[in-house]
Structure 1
Amino acid sequence: MRRWVSPLLLVAIVFLLWPNSSPAPIIYRPGEGWSYESRGTMGKWRRDRAKAQVEVAKEAAAKEDWRTVHKAAKRTVHEWPLSDYAPEAQQLLAQSYEARGDDERAFKEYQKLLRYYPQNVDYEEVQKRQMVIADRFLGGQRFKLWGKIPLYRSWKKSAQMYQEVVNVGPQSEVAPMAQMKAGEAWEKRADGFHVSERERHKDFGRAVEAYKKAYEEYQSDDTVAAEALYKKGTSYENQAKDAEYDQEVTMEAINAYEDMLALYPGTPKAEDASQRIAKMKTEQARGSITIAKFYEKKKKWHGAKVYYDRAIDLAPDSEHGQRAKERLAVIAKYIDETDAAETE
């Protein structure tokens, strides 16, 4: 048996060392990463000058050969980052990621383009591309593992994308809408599953802050400002649905709606905001009636009067308001008796 081991080992070594051509080699190059090179084309896309290299990327883009675009553009940016051709290569690199379905990476490469080469690109157009990508994620597109495998939705990452658009170009054409959509993304996250209500309220709080910033920064646009106040109100209102946040947060919601009605009375959301205010005030009046009844049982007439008065102020024409008026009439004599006793 042993006499066969040495010849077989020798054959195996010769086979492994014998030069063979691979039909589909995977090549790694520092700064460029791994790339697939088909047989017969290996290295043919590479050039030794920035201008020639970016031309390869442009020609490949015209043919929608995005794999070659990716390799050529990435090499240009890596090898000649300060050349006049680097901005165009960086944009082609971002486009190649987007065309190949890696939207998250495409967004980041567009962001690099604006950060490193702001004077050499159509700023507004690039940000519009970023908005298109962020909108896809806000619409439910899944983020990918390794840029290949659709895995999960993330409203948090969507919100951060919109915020990056604003941070890089706060006065750009798309910035107001990006700020508003950041709030929308946080609202979606708040509406999703949470381990605790505290975390859910944090997300509503982030939505409120996003809308607050939209109002403060873009008041010159009446449409955006009015919508920002309305959405700020709805975020507070949703947060107020939990009892422990009811009174304080409800008042914040009412204040936001009332600000919108006072500043932008002609907004399409005016009627809806008025109805929401009335509903919340009616609910607050109901709560005041409950507290007033508690004071009545304790014969704390002045305390009861405070809360009946509050119910009337909040919703005078509602059922609760009418009930408060009736009870005030009943306890009036007890209040007078108490006051008389205290003065004796």
Structure 2
Amino acid sequence: MMHKKYYLSVWLALLTALSPFNLYADWVWSPELGKFVSPKEDDTRDNSSQQLEYALELYKQKQYDKAVTELETLIKDFPASRVAPEAQYRLGTVYEEKGDYFKALKAYQKMIEVYPQNDRFEEVIEREFKLGNLFLSGKKGKLFGVEIRPAFPIAVQAFEHIVKFAPYGSFGDQAQFSLAAAQKKAGQFDAAMQSFQDVLDNYPQSSLVEKARYELAETAYFRSIAQNRDERALEKASEQVQGFMQNYPGAPGTEKAAKIREEIDEKNAEKNYQIGLYYEKQNFVQSAIIYYKDVAKRYPHTQSGAKAENRLLALKQPVEYLASQRDALDAELDDTKKRLAGLSESADPVEREALERKLARL
């Protein structure tokens, strides 16, 4: 009977010891590890704060590589720690100090995505914006320690990220404008035009609206040059330039816009003049006259406009045209003779020879 009581008491003791309540009675939730832990475990695993302090001390001592290692280990081992956002932020600053701006950018972007509620959010957005401008200026990113990454695509990526995660923050309109500028520099003209248009549509009160309107016009012109066989591209450029000049007649970019407009007119005039010339050579005189008239009327200030006017005169009034050409030729001939006769014996032989050749040609 005594043996039965003994075994029963041992059995009850074992059950109590192995009870789930007893197994987890001393366990607590660790925000550092993101799980329940037992205080009996090795205390060195729950040391994110000390590890951050150690990493910052390494940073102060300019031991940047070691600081990076410590910070990356902390973020990996303690992703839910209350100091993890600060570690992610510090990782970006260390990379900046090292001059590895691409990795710094990536570190800041991760912080924005993983810890959007962090108190440093606006500061990180500002840092990302400044790095974007650095790449926009032509600074290349490092790959295996060598600056070979193309700059403008990285700038595009940086500004796109800001527009996505903080469109109406302190740098929203600036990031949108800079995104367009980076796309323009990268030769992404269609994307740049849309991004400049987004400045106008999404930030109508921004101080950058006027500048965006001009850049939109200029980008449309560059696009037309890149797509020289696309007539619609040239028309679009003309529309954008005209819109800017009408909406902002006294803006600083008006003079430059006017020059772009002149270049567009020259291209349009030359294109239509060549069509007229083609018809004339094929003996489709009436068709040629239609194109020459259009060029002379719409683009009188261009070189092709003047040439079209001459062709019209030649086709519609050949006698008068030939007479005017003969008169001009006689005047040039007389002028050349006078200049040649006025040369002294010691005159430059090269000049004399040039005048003699011209006289023979005339």
Same fold (TM over 0.5): yes
Partner of 2:342: none
Cα RMSD between the aligned structures?
3.1
Amino acid corresponding to residue 275 of structure 2 in structure 1: I
Residues 1:243 and 1:296: Cα distance change in structure 2 (over 3 Å):
farther
Of the three residues 170, 175, 180, the one matched with 1:173 is 170
Q: Is the 8 A contact 2:152 2:185 kept in 1?
A: yes
- The answer on 1:270 being equivalent to 2:254 is yes
Displacement after TM superposition at 1:62 (Å)? 4.7
Amino acid corresponding to residue 294 of structure 2 in structure 1: R
* CA distance in 2: counterparts of 1:168 and 1:117, whole angstroms: 12
Partner of 2:180: 183
Of the three residues 134, 149, 153, the one matched with 2:132 is 134
* CA distance in 2: counterparts of 1:123 and 1:264, whole angstroms: 37
Partner of 1:66: 64
* CA distance in 1: counterparts of 2:206 and 2:286, whole angstroms: 48
Displacement after TM superposition at 1:240 (Å)? 3.0
Q: Is the 8 A contact 1:143 1:151 kept in 2?
A: yes
* CA distance in 1: counterparts of 2:135 and 2:159, whole angstroms: 11
Residues 1:315 and 1:162: Cα distance change in structure 2 (over 3 Å):
same
Q: Is the 8 A contact 1:308 1:324 kept in 2?
A: yes
* CA distance in 1: counterparts of 2:250 and 2:55, whole angstroms: 52
Displacement after TM superposition at 1:95 (Å)? 1.4
Gaps of 5+ in 1: 1-45, 191-202, 334-344
* CA distance in 2: counterparts of 1:253 and 1:281, whole angstroms: 11
Percent same amino acid among aligned pairs? 25
Give the TM-score normalised by the residue count of structure 1. 0.68
Q: Is the 8 A contact 2:217 2:244 kept in 1?
A: no
* CA distance in 1: counterparts of 2:261 and 2:302, whole angstroms: 13
Which stretch of the first structure deviates more once superposed, 293-302 or 75-84? 293-302
Gaps of 5+ in 2: 1-43, 318-362
Q: Is the 8 A contact 1:87 1:121 kept in 2?
A: no
Superimposed CA distance per residue, residues 179-213 of structure 1 (whole angstroms, 9 cap, x where no aligned partner)? 333333334333xxxxxxxxxxxx33333333333
Partner of 2:220: 236
Partner of 1:145: 143
* CA distance in 1: counterparts of 2:235 and 2:139, whole angstroms: 36
Displacement after TM superposition at 1:92 (Å)? 1.1
- The answer on 1:214 being equivalent to 2:199 is yes
Superimposed CA distance per residue, residues 37-92 of structure 1 (whole angstroms, 9 cap, x where no aligned partner)? xxxxxxxxx76333333333344445544345323432332222223222112111
Amino acid corresponding to residue 219 of structure 2 in structure 1: S
Q: Is the 8 A contact 2:71 2:88 kept in 1?
A: yes
Amino acid corresponding to residue 300 of structure 2 in structure 1: P
Displacement after TM superposition at 1:269 (Å)? 0.5
* CA distance in 1: counterparts of 2:227 and 2:49, whole angstroms: 65
Pairs aligned (count): 275
Which stretch of the first structure deviates more once superposed, 87-96 or 205-214? 205-214
* CA distance in 1: counterparts of 2:146 and 2:230, whole angstroms: 43
Secondary structure of the equivalent of 2:147? strand
1:1-344 pair list within 5 angstroms: 48-146=46-144, 148-190=145-187, 203-222=188-207, 224-241=208-225, 244-245=228-229, 247-298=231-282, 300=284, 303-324=287-308
Residues 1:170 and 1:99: Cα distance change in structure 2 (over 3 Å):
same
Q: Is the 8 A contact 1:57 1:92 kept in 2?
A: no
Displacement after TM superposition at 1:298 (Å)? 4.4
Secondary structure of the equivalent of 1:150? strand
Partner of 2:327: none
Displacement after TM superposition at 1:250 (Å)? 1.9
* CA distance in 2: counterparts of 1:234 and 1:162, whole angstroms: 21
* CA distance in 2: counterparts of 1:243 and 1:90, whole angstroms: 45
Displacement after TM superposition at 1:126 (Å)? 0.9
* CA distance in 2: counterparts of 1:49 and 1:324, whole angstroms: 84
* CA distance in 2: counterparts of 1:236 and 1:248, whole angstroms: 11
Superimposed CA distance per residue, residues 310-331 of structure 1 (whole angstroms, 9 cap, x where no aligned partner)? 3245323445435545655776
Residues 1:306 and 1:242: Cα distance change in structure 2 (over 3 Å):
farther
Q: Is the 8 A contact 1:91 1:113 kept in 2?
A: yes
- The structure having more radius of gyration, on CA atoms, is 2
* CA distance in 1: counterparts of 2:128 and 2:229, whole angstroms: 37
* CA distance in 2: counterparts of 1:311 and 1:220, whole angstroms: 41
Q: Is the 8 A contact 1:311 1:324 kept in 2?
A: yes
